[in-house]
Amino acid sequence: VEDYAAFGIGEYWITDDAALGGVQFLDRTKQPTLSIYQLVDGIYEVCRFRGNDTIISPTFPNLQLTANQVLRAGQ
C-alpha cells in the first residue's frame, strides 16, 4: 500500500464478494463488501459499501452503481 501512495494512486478498490475477510475489514456482519480506499494527506481512508449502498467515489463522480452491482458483476 505504501507503494500505491508513493506512485500517487489516489484511490483503489477491494471487493470481497464472498465475505471472506476478517472482522476488521467486514465488521461482524460478514456481508459481501466493496471497500474504497482514498488517499487523504498521505494516508488511505476507507469507505465500505454493501448491498444497495450507492457507491461514492471522488475519482468517478458520475458513477451510478450500487455495491451489489459491482460485487455481482462477474457472476
Total domains in the chain come to 1
DSSP string, the chain: -HHHHHTT--EEEEEETT--S-HHHH-TT---EEEEEEEETTEEEEEEE-TTPBP--TTSTT---BHHHHHTTT-
What are the tens digits of pLDDT across the range 11-65?
A: 999 998 776 666 666 566 778 899 999 999 999 999 999 999 999 999 999 999 9
pTM over 0.85: no
Range of the domain at 41: 2-71
Task: Output the pLDDT for position 13.
Answer: 96
pLDDT at 35: 93
pLDDT score, position 27: 62
